[in-house]
């Protein structure tokens, strides 16, 4: 049986729009724990965290390591997780803060929690408001209406995946689509043409898609550009742009299952 160690880790999300989307319990951890270690891109959010935290460590500088020969984003994420664990091993109560939801497209938090628990430390995650939550609210698209599929862009490109065109399809990180080096933070038209061609096996090139970017502060406007699928390779993207593909085909009834359900209902009513 593993002995419980003195250090503690909780991973929280700051939401997409600065402190306004922070849950009360996450804010409490940020204010009361010994040190806050943050991986958030918004400078204003970082400044706010630094002001209310007892001690503050920013992880963003680790991204510079991708410029070193032989180093990739995977190495950067490992270093970030190790930085968090160093403070936990020192017996501190550590709050690791990530923008959005700390467990969605945030492998650092999952690595850090797994490592901490393996070493006998208390570690858990608190949910946060993610880009998906903002997307549903901003675009008014309910995943429960038609269903939803969700994949990372490069993963979709390099694996054989089956798309359901009668459901909404969300393609994350379209802004770095096709990067196999794990070093780039952008993409190029040639890569976007490849993913467009693959999507065209399921959707018509005239199908309207949405390029979405959540607002990160109260004065910022969301991006919700509607374009034809064929125009994707020539459209400017950012690292955090999300491709939203609305359903193109109608839902098809499964009459055999409907008959089974009706027969079951009839037998119970008899």
Q: What is the pTM of this model?
A: 0.88
Count other Cβ atoms within 10 Å, centred on residue 172: 22
For residue 146, indicate whether it is catalytic: no
* Residue 59 shares a structural domain with residue 168: no
Rounded to an integer, the average pLDDT of 117-134 is: 96
pLDDT tens readout for residues 186-219? 899 999 999 999 999 999 999 999 999 999 877 7
* Residue 15 shares a structural domain with residue 72: yes
Angle between helices 24-32 and 43-52 (to 10 degrees): 60
* Residue 116 shares a structural domain with residue 137: no
Q: Is 264 inside a domain boundary?
A: no
Q: Is 90 inside a domain boundary?
A: yes
- Residue 35 backbone phi and psi in degrees, to 5: -150, 140
Least confident of 37-41, 135-139, 171-175: 37-41
pLDDT tens readout for residues 6-43? 899 999 999 998 668 899 999 999 999 999 999 888 88
Which of residues 185 and 107 earns the better pLDDT score?
Answer: 107
Q: Residue 163 pLDDT more than 50?
A: yes
**Strand 223-228's sheet: what is its strand order?**
148-152, 168-172, 242-245, 208-213, 223-228
Q: Is 267 inside a domain boundary?
A: no
CATH code assigned at 120: 3.40.1010.10
Q: What is the mean pLDDT of the chain?
A: 93
Rounded to an integer, the average pLDDT of 65-82 is: 83
Q: Is 57 inside a domain boundary?
A: yes
Least confident of 10-19, 61-70, 94-103, 127-136: 61-70
Q: Is 144 inside a domain boundary?
A: yes
* Residue 15 shares a structural domain with residue 119: yes
For residue 78, indicate whether it is catalytic: no
Check residue 4 and give its pLDDT. Answer: 62
Which of residues 262 and 5 earns the better pLDDT score?
Answer: 262
* Residue 94 shares a structural domain with residue 182: no
Q: Residue 2 pLDDT more than 80?
A: no
Residue 114's pLDDT band, with cuts at 50, 70 and 90, is: very high
Q: Which of 17, 46, 73, 93 is catalytic?
A: 73
Q: Is 94 inside a domain boundary?
A: yes
> For strand 208-213 and strand 223-228, is the pairing parallel, antiparallel, or unpaired?
antiparallel
CATH code assigned at 211: 3.30.950.10
Q: Is 254 inside a domain boundary?
A: no
* Residue 123 shares a structural domain with residue 136: no
Q: Residue 156 pLDDT more than 90?
A: yes
* Residue 101 shares a structural domain with residue 160: no
Q: Which of 29, 46, 99, 212 is catalytic?
A: 99
Rounded to an integer, the average pLDDT of 165-172 is: 98
* Residue 54 shares a structural domain with residue 89: yes
Q: Which of 17, 29, 46, 77 is catalytic?
A: 77
Q: Is 192 inside a domain boundary?
A: yes
Number of domains within the chain: 2
DSSP E strands in the chain: the ranges are 8-13, 35-39, 56-58, 93-98, 122-125, 148-152, 168-172, 208-213, 223-228, 242-245
Q: Which residues face 37 on adjacent strands?
A: 57, 96
* Residue 99 shares a structural domain with residue 141: no
* Residue 102 shares a structural domain with residue 179: no
* Residue 18 shares a structural domain with residue 122: yes
SS (H, E, C) the chain: CCCCCCCEEEEEECECCHHHHCCHHHHHHHHHCCEEEEECCCHHHHHHHHHHCCCEEECHHHHHHHHCCCCCHHHHHHHHHHHHHHHHHCCCEEEEEECECCCCCCHHHHHHHHHHHHCCCEEEECCCCCHHHHHHHHHCCCHHHHCEEEEEHHHHHHCCCCCCCCCEEEEECHHHCCCCCCCCCCCCHHHHHHHHHHHCCCCCCCCEEEEEECCCCCCCCCEEEEEEHHHHHHCCCCCCCEEEECCCCCCCCCHHHHHHHHHHHHHHHC
For residue 77, indicate whether it is catalytic: yes
Residue range(s) defining the domain that contains residue 19: 8-129
* Residue 53 shares a structural domain with residue 97: yes
Give dist(CA 181, CA 151) in Å, integer.
19
Check residue 3 and give its pLDDT. Answer: 55
């Amino acid at each position: 049986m593993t002995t419980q160690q003195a250090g503690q880790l909780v991973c929280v999300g700051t939401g997409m729009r600065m402190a306004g989307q922070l849950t009360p319990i996450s804010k409490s951890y940020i204010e009361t724990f010994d040190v806050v270690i943050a991986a958030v891109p918004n400078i204003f959010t970082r400044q706010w965290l630094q002001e209310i935290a007892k001690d503050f460590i920013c992880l963003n500088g680790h991204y510079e390591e991708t410029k070193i020969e032989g180093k990739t984003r995977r190495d950067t994420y490992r270093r970030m997780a190790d930085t968090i664990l160093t403070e936990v091993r020192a017996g501190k109560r550590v709050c690791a803060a990530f923008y959005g939801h700390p467990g969605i497209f945030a492998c650092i938090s999952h690595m850090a929690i797994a490592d901490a628990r393996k070493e006998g430390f208390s570690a858990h995650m608190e949910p946060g408001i993610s880009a998906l939550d903002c997307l549903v609210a901003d675009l008014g698209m309910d995943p429960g209406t038609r269903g939803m599929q969700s994949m990372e862009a490069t993963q979709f490109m390099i694996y054989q995946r089956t798309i359901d065109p009668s459901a909404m399809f969300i393609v994350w990180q379209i802004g770095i689509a096709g990067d196999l080096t794990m070093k780039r933070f952008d993409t190029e038209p040639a890569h976007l043409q490849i993913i467009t061609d693959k999507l065209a096996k399921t959707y018509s090139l005239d199908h309207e898609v949405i390029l979405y970017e959540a607002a990160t502060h109260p004065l910022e406007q969301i991006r919700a550009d509607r374009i034809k699928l064929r125009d994707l390779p020539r459209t400017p993207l950012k690292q955090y742009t999300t491709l939203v593909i609305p359903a193109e085909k109608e839902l098809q009834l499964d009459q055999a299952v409907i008959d089974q359900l009706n027969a079951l209902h009839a037998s119970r009513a008899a």
